[in-house]
């Protein structure tokens, strides 16, 4: 989930993406999830991960999706 800003109630890039649980090990507390299928679904950069169990969300954990670098820019398109 990409959250908004302190100074704004609406964040134009806010989005929530459900991830598929691949495996879990309750003894170690490790979850393996499948990430977003493309940067069109969730772009590289910071986000927040929440685990919801029986309708109860966990405390959020900030994560970095991908390298955190912006996608490539088409400089030719910008020059026109």
User: For 40-50, how does the pLDDT look when each residue is reduced to its tens digit (9 = 90+)?
Assistant: 888 888 888 89
Q: Is 78 left (phi over 0), alpha (psi -120 to 50) or beta?
A: alpha
Average pLDDT over residues 8-33: 84
pLDDT for 27 equals 93
Domain boundaries, the chain: 20-79
CA distance 2 to 8: 14
Question: Is the pLDDT at 28 greater than 80, yes or no?
Answer: yes
pLDDT for 54 equals 93
Question: Is the pLDDT at 6 greater than 70, yes or no?
Answer: no
Cβ atoms of 51 and 57 closer than 8 Å:
yes
Question: Is the pLDDT at 59 greater than 90, yes or no?
Answer: yes
And the tokens for 77? 């398109």
Q: Is 56 left (phi over 0), alpha (psi -120 to 50) or beta?
A: beta
pTM score over 0.95:
no
């Amino acid at each position: 989930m990409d959250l908004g800003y302190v100074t704004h109630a609406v964040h134009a890039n806010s989005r929530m993406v459900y991830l598929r649980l691949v495996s879990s090990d309750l003894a170690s507390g490790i979850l393996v999830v499948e990430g977003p299928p493309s940067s069109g679904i969730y772009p590289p950069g910071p986000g927040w991960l929440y685990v919801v169990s029986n309708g109860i969300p966990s405390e959020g954990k900030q994560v970095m999706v991908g390298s955190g670098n912006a996608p490539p820019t088409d400089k030719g398109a910008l020059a026109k």
